[in-house]
Amino acid sequence: MKKTWIIVLWILIFLGIFFSWKYNNLVTKEEAVNTAWSQVENQYQRRFDLIPNIVASVKWEANFEKSTLESVIQARASATKTTIDINDATEFEEFQKEQSGISQALSRLLMVSENYPNLKANQAFSDLRIQLEGTENRISTERMRYNEVVQDFNVYIRSFPNNIFASVLWFEKKNLFQSDEGAQKAPTVNFEE
């Protein structure tokens, strides 16, 4: 009888250690996802902070297209209102659309600015443009890192026996960034114009 209790006790200790190890791995991987998401948000915040400076430096150009400036301002305002739960696919998709809207508005602003020699010659605007381009690259890099961490997490919680622990402990699959709508089509370049 005593040997049976010792065996049962060892089995319970083993199961406790195994369960703790699996749980801690799930928590570690989920925290890696949260950290990667924070880095994505940091880069988006950097872009949000640059936008008012870019708009202010463009406003002094009297002929500059008002609608282009307004679209940048509206896109920023709309995106800053969006709160997101990265586990909610609908909110995640809406967040991604808002950020895509800002990217498109900023691209239009930079393209239109090419038509204004005074603006192109302005050193402050040039510096802001370089900072914005760097920020866009950082955003892309952090989104890629986020997707890598999420992929690792999603594979981990879907693999056996982790899937059992993940479902019992309510760990859910995380959302990935997708390419923007129309990104699969290459732009047409025409050198004859």
Query: DSSP of 127-181, one letter per residue?
Result: HHHHHHHHHHHHHHHHHHHHHHHHHHHHHHHHSTTHHHHHHHTT--PPP---PPT
Pick the more confident residue, 38 or 193: 38
Q: Is the pLDDT of residue 58 over 90?
A: no
Domain boundaries, the chain: 2-168
- What is the average pLDDT across 102-127? 80
* Burial class of 145 by CB neighbour count within 10 A (0 to 12, 13 to 18, 19+): middle
Superfamily of domain 2-168: LemA-like domain (1.20.1440.20)
**What's the whole-model pTM score?**
0.78
**How far does CA 18 lie from the centroid of its chain?**
34
Q: Please write the tens of the pLDDT for every residue from 29-45.
A: 999 999 999 999 999 99
If one counts every other C-beta atom within 10 angstroms of the C-beta of residue 132, the result is 19
If one counts every other C-beta atom within 10 angstroms of the C-beta of residue 67, the result is 8
Q: Please write the tens of the pLDDT for every residue from 1-15.
A: 788 889 989 999 999
How far is it, in rounded angstroms, from Cα 66 to Cα 57?
13
- 110: tokens are 């930079």
Q: Is the pLDDT of residue 16 over 80?
A: yes
Q: Is the pLDDT of residue 181 over 80?
A: no
Given this model, what pLDDT does residue 146 score?
95
Q: Residue 55: what residue type?
A: V
